[in-house]
Structure 1
Amino acid sequence: MKTVPLGRVLVTGGAGMLGSQLVQKLLENGYRVRSFDQQHQSIEHQRLELLEGSLNEQSDLQQACEGVDTVFHAAGVISMSGHAELVSEEDRRCWRVNVEGTDRLLSACQRAGVSRFVYTSSNSVVFDGRAIVDGDETLPYASRPGLDIYSRSKMMAERAVLAANGVEGMLCCALRPSGIWGEGDKVVYNRLMVMAASGWLRCRIGSPRARLDNSFVLNLVQAELLAATHLCAAGGAAGQAYFINDGEPVNMMQFAEPLLAAVNHRLPTLLLPEMVLKVMVGFWRGMYEYFGGAEPVLTTIALQRITVDNFYSIAKAKRELGYQPEYSTERAQAISIDYYSAVYHEAKQARGRA
């Protein structure tokens, strides 16, 4: 299939885990990059322009999109509440940024004459709590009762992006990673390491037979670039969604074992029944929302995803984008071990100071 150069590039969420790695790779590949984020960015490069702004401000977005050929929309908010409705301020912020912010960005791109738009979605847009084995892109979106606010927000944003394909000449596609892990991870295995260091990981979490897939951040960066270069008339990616992961489904606790071994933390042998764990997590979440204190490191939705098989095929991305994960899980863990060890030791020290 035909590919195209990307021209001048905008990365939203450029200070985040994925965005910062994407910015770095684009600079290495010789592109002129504009990095847009609410957070302060300290990186400097002669081909890099840093722009602070909000997805909630149309004027900020219009400024960000001017003179840009390709947009990577990596900005987003992850709500860990597990709510199905807009209950908390966390939920409302998630919706404002992920749904309304994406709508504003699409409008700004169309007005600015942007040619290509790659959206970082999530595999959660099709997950409704039931097992999915080697799921592909023919799966329908999950029904609303099966979705938490975060998943609903990603689904709504993805639908808007794909519906915008071809409008004002802009070609769009969406990538659906699994849990993104590696350096900069603040959610997936970061929380597991914090649980271990804080003394909360006294039992195995989830089903010992359930498998999920993961998306190493550098493999996802590779897929983002491939998707963008295939956004042309003969490229095949326009209007498409793609599952992107490491291609190695694995049990979550089995995956975490080398990370814990690196800090001499033994994996627990006790396995609590799923319903007991759900009650405990639900009680903790309720106490946190009413009285404050330590934020729960798990949600009922997260538990749902690790108690049934929940992994997806990357055959379409391989076939249409030429995606082949550059990093195996073993190699990626070797690269990331220092980061997760630091997370563990920092949490351990914080516990000692408490």
Structure 2
Amino acid sequence: MAEKAAAYDVARGGWSETRTCVVLGGRGFIGRTLVNRLLRLGGWIVRVADSSSHSLLPDSSSGSDSLLSDAISSGQASFCHVDVLDTSQIVKVTTGADVVFYMEPTDLDAHDFCNCYMIIVQGAKNVINACRESKVKRLVYNSSADVVFDGSQDILNGDESFTYPGKFKDMTVDLKFQAEGLIRVANNIGGLQTCVLRPSNVFGSGETQFVPLLANLSKFGSGGNMSDFTYVENVAHAHICAAETIDSRVVSVAGKAFFITNLEPIMFWEFISLILEGLGYQRPFIKVPTWMVSYVVILSQYIHDKLSYRMYRYSVSPHYIVQLASRNRTFDCSAAQKHLGYSPVVSLEDGIKLTVASFSHLSKDSSFMRFGNFDEQSKAEKLLGSGIALSLSRGNISFQTVQSDGGIKQDASIGHYLNT
């Protein structure tokens, strides 16, 4: 792999000697994966910087951290705490670096607008200013495909010409959109070249919110909408590809944004089913007693507010979950292939297998999940003799009576409840 990367450098006119990089947010989900990939490739001196208040120092006893611990011992890597609201700290860690990879902190309270704004938007401004002051030439920012999705319409094979929504329903996506704009506008000012990556539905080993959310969705219905999911190792690979090509005179990369996917669109619920089946669950389906139908929206809000399911550590509203689960959302990754030289290094099938293996604690037979047997008939069902099946399809929530003989009768659709 290192030899391939070196050949790639020569072909692209990039660096052929050891380079120094800074990974801001290097202890987060994507940041950790990027750090490990850089260290495995070789040819990089990696400065890991993070503002998180926990899980900062690498644990040499942990398999995922052993590579970083060894690299720190050998001088190939270093670690420091950096507050993105303190420009002087960013300047200190980025001085002398060839490239900065920027991932925002993942421990944000999405209910605190002021804090989120300061971290996401002001943080982006500070990173830009610090890179200019420290004479960094390349800045790669990890955005999200969410910045073009507002849930109001399907996106089928959307490319970089896809327009931004006029209004965002999710506060943190709105702020990320603003940060992305700042990064792109900063290109070619003060000698800094920038690039933005928009991965779609990132998943993988070490992620602490998305897959657990899927495990809890094991109780819900199915739909045929298509989605793009991206294994985290491929996102890390895309960052390195962007760093290698950002100053190329042959292709146009600087100042641009690129969608990153696994190049394998899949039905949203098929993806969830593969995860859940790997964990030992049946394919998603729920039976809800009839008296609970009118409380579905309230229940969804309860899940959001009380159990605090989050994606990328940002709160996910019930509206967003339904939109994500019911809308087509696929992206054209050909620009990244053509201009960045990107192609997935881990297939979707292998990514799912690796992810399932890393979440054994969420398996059906684990002590963590044993409290909820979703296959058993509920006491309410036994008492009432029937139930309600919940089906998510293209923005609508349909309810079907599950009859005593196993037959299903269509009753109603309340899609308008969750699409306002």
> Which band: TM-score by shorter chain?
0.7 to 0.9
Native 8 Å contact 2:279 2:362 kept in 1: no
Question: What's 1:110 paired with?
Answer: 132
1:222 corresponds to: 237
Task: Give the secondary structure class of the aligned counterpart of 2:39.
Answer: helix
Give the direction of change, closer, same or farther, for the CA distance of 1:349–1:271 in structure 2 (3 Å limit).
closer
Q: How far apart, in 2, do the equivalents of 1:337 and 1:238 lie?
A: 36
In structure 2, the CA distance between the partners of 1:7 and 1:349, relative to structure 1 (3 Å rule), is same
1:203 is aligned, of 220, 233, 248, to 220
User: What's the CA shift for 1:28?
Assistant: 1.9
SS at match of 1:8: strand
Contact 2:195 2:253 (C-alpha < 8 Å) held by counterparts: yes
In the alignment, the residues of structure 2 paired with residue 77 and residue 282 of structure 1 have an alpha-carbon distance, to the nearest angstrom, of 22
Instruction: Please state how far the C-alpha of 1:139 moved relative to its aligned partner.
Output: 0.8
2:46 pairs, out of 15, 28, 33, with 33
Amino acid at match of 2:34: L
Q: 1:159 corresponds to which residue?
A: 181
Distance 2:157 2:107 in 1: 25
Amino acid at match of 1:295: S
For residue 277 of structure 1, report the CA deviation from its aligned partner.
5.0
Q: Quick one: which of 225, 249, 257 aligns to 2:265?
A: 249
Residue 38 of structure 1 and its aligned partner are, at CA, apart by: 2.1
Provide the TM-score with structure 2 as the length reference. 0.73
The TM-score with structure 1 as length reference comes to: 0.86
Q: Deviations over 1:22-53 (max 9, x none)?
A: 11111222200100012412132121010112
Aligned residue for 1:118, secondary structure, equals: strand
SS of residue paired to 1:347: coil
Range with greater deviation from structure 2 (36-45 or 62-71): 36-45
* Residues 71 and 118 in structure 1, CA contact (< 8 A), matched pair in contact too: yes
Is the 8 Å Cα contact of residues 246 and 253 (structure 2) preserved in structure 1?
Answer: yes
CA RMSD, aligned part only?
2.5
- TM-superposed CA distance for 1:319, in Å, is 1.2
- Report if the CA contact (8 A) 1:176-1:242 is conserved: yes
Aligned residue for 1:2? 12
What is the match of residue 404 of structure 2? none
Q: RCO (CA 8 Å, sep 6+): is it higher in 1 or 2?
A: 1
Runs of 5+ consecutive residues of structure 2 not aligned to the other structure: 1-10, 59-67, 311-315, 374-420
Quick one: structure 1 residues 7 and 211, their matched pair in 2 at CA, closer, same or farther if it must change by over 3 Å?
Answer: same
Contact 1:4 1:231 in 2 (8 A): no
**What whole-Å deviation, never above 9, does each CA across 1:175-228 have from its counterpart, x for those lacking one?**
0001110111122223212x16xxxx4222xx6021111110011111111111
Matching residue of 1:21: 33
The number of residues matched between the two structures is 330
Bigger share in strand: 2
Give 1:337's aligned residue. Answer: 356
| Identity percentage of aligned residues | 24
- In the TM superposition, what whole-angstrom CA distance separates every residue of 1:81-126 from its partner, at most 9, and x where no partner exists? 5xxxxxx32x433222111111101100000000111000001111
The structure 1 segments of at least 4 consecutive aligned residues displaced by more than 4 Å after TM superposition are 78-81, 274-279, 349-352
